[in-house]
Amino acid sequence: MKLYKREIFDQIEPYIGDETIIVLHGARQVGKTHILRYIQDYLTQKNQKSFYYDLEMPDVFALVNDRIPITFIHDLLGQQYVEGEEIYVFIDEIQYLDNPSSFLKIIADHYKNIHLIVSGSSTFNIKTKFTNSLAGRTTEFEVFPLSFTEFLQFKQSSYILTPKPSPLALEHFRASYQEFIKYGGYPKVVLETVVEKKRRYLIQMIDTYIRKDIRDLTTITDIRKFNSMLKILASQSGQLLSIKALSNEIDIAFATVQKYISILEETYILKLISPYSHSPSIEISKNPKIYFYDSGLLSILWLNHFQDTILDNILETNIFGELVKLYGRHNIHFWRTKAGQEIDFILEVHNHLTPIEVKTNFQQYSPKNITHFEAKYHSQPGSVVALLGTPQNEHYLYPWQLGSLS
């Protein structure tokens, strides 16, 4: 299997070899295992000894789940590990352990020569399996589906993104980005060439998520209603969310819907973003917007197939995902006034605000709302992001230029 470098590796690399435990977490199938294998290969090239434990294998789980980590150390000794030497240990799916915090704490505190790099779905966050005993001992990294730059790499594109691409390269990027919007950024889906297989992979991913994650985290009394809720939420990606209206529509108690949405957030399926305001109380009281992280997954949940034309909310969902990968999922808001003025995204980074509008074509853009926001909040110059048409100035950006906003 070819190992591709993910962009997050550059964030992880400075911590490799530190005493801190490196923790990767994110949704299923986003490539956490691939990143672990890439890091292991990187260490092998530096002549560093490493060992890999996949806790989805029952015998490996039984070994590592032992309450006394000495059993684990004995296993390492049986693999040509010399006690006291510097080694790297990779543990995949750490959340399966009954008490990962205790295991990791003992290794981190008593075996300073063993550098731990672990991965897990976000379920261990919800279950609070990582307790306060690990405070100061972990450095955590969130893994999301592929960015467009990574998408091009996985597709082995013959063109490299540059500030001023040639006309041929620009058309290639546009066509590639439409494919990226359509199918999303899950690595297995990106690498698959048969469209029906892409669709089946995403359906299986949804089914596995519900069977393994959701049912493990909470009791679902009516799976049909839960599936209906997922479909309705997908149809509302990019729109204001009323939990009360959703509760009434699917006939599930308000508190239960809140709990389900919280789990969907914590397992990296979707995110609620708050309206931007100087007043935190207004942000809390006003309805949030809902966004899924992956446009391909959204299409299958909502429509059960991939859309050939670019729908506005699917494009907006895709841009949201790219902003999250670049700037973090907690730094994105939207803006809406009682008079009906609205801006799709407000990026808040390093105490600077940047308003962003998303359009299919640059010609659809009117700067009126952004101009108003800039004057009211003294923000950075706003930008419009579009895939089609001709940019008018440096504030007209193609989706692959979003990194220039920082």
Q: Which of the four pLDDT bands, split at 50, 70 and 90, describes residue 302? A: very high
pLDDT of 231 > 80? The answer is: yes
Domains of the chain as residue ranges with CATH: 9-143 (3.40.50.300), 149-405 (no CATH)
Q: What is the pLDDT of residues 132-149, one digit of tens each?
A: 767 788 999 999 999 999
Both tokens of residue 396? Answer: 């007209």
The per-residue pLDDT for 136 is 82
pLDDT of 98 > 90? The answer is: no
For residues 270 and 302, give the distance between their C-alpha atoms in angstroms, rounded to a whole number: 13
The per-residue pLDDT for 282 is 57
Q: Is 378 left (phi over 0), alpha (psi -120 to 50) or beta?
A: left
Average pLDDT of the residues of the chain: 90
Task: Identify the three-state secondary structure at position 406.
Answer: coil
Mean pLDDT of 256-285: 82
Mean pLDDT of 312-337: 95
The per-residue pLDDT for 68 is 67
DSSP 8-state class, residue 361: B
pLDDT of 379 > 80? The answer is: yes
**b/e 79-94 (16+ beta carbons within 10 angstroms → b):** eebeeeeebbbbbbbb
Q: Is 99 left (phi over 0), alpha (psi -120 to 50) or beta?
A: beta
- The string of DSSP letters for 267-286 reads TTSEEEEPBP-S-HHHHHHS
Q: In this structure, which amino acid lies at residue 323?
A: L
The per-residue pLDDT for 42 is 97
Contact status, residue 97 vs residue 105, Cβ threshold 8 Å? no
pLDDT of 350 > 90? The answer is: no
Helical ranges in 185-304 per DSSP H: 187-191, 195-208, 215-217, 223-235, 243-250, 254-266, 280-285, 295-303
pLDDT of 190 > 90? The answer is: yes
The per-residue pLDDT for 41 is 97
Residue 150 CA neighbour count, 13 Å, CB half = 25
Q: Which of the four pLDDT bands, split at 50, 70 and 90, describes residue 163? A: confident
Query: Which of these ranges, 71-80, 240-249, 271-280, 291-300, has the smallest mean pLDDT?
Result: 71-80
Query: Which of these ranges, 143-147, 246-250, 285-289, 400-404, has the smallest mean pLDDT?
Result: 285-289
357: phi then psi, degrees, rounded to nearest 5: -105, 145
Task: Identify the three-state secondary structure at position 396.
Answer: strand
Among 401, 404, 406, 403, CA closest to 173? 401
Q: What is the pLDDT of residues 46-72, one digit of tens each?
A: 999 999 999 989 988 888 887 667 778
Q: What is the pLDDT of residues 10-47, one digit of tens each?
A: 999 999 999 899 999 998 899 999 999 999 999 999 99
Q: List the beta bridge partners of residue 89.
A: 51, 116
Mean pLDDT of 325-339: 92
For residues 134 and 144, give the distance between their C-alpha atoms in angstroms, rounded to a whole number: 24
Better pLDDT: 355 or 81: 355
The proportion of the chain whose per-residue pLDDT surpasses 90, expressed as a percent, equals 66
pLDDT of 126 > 70? The answer is: no
Neighbouring C-beta atoms of residue 162, cutoff 10 Å: 9
The per-residue pLDDT for 280 is 59
Mean pLDDT of 279-293: 77
The per-residue pLDDT for 357 is 98
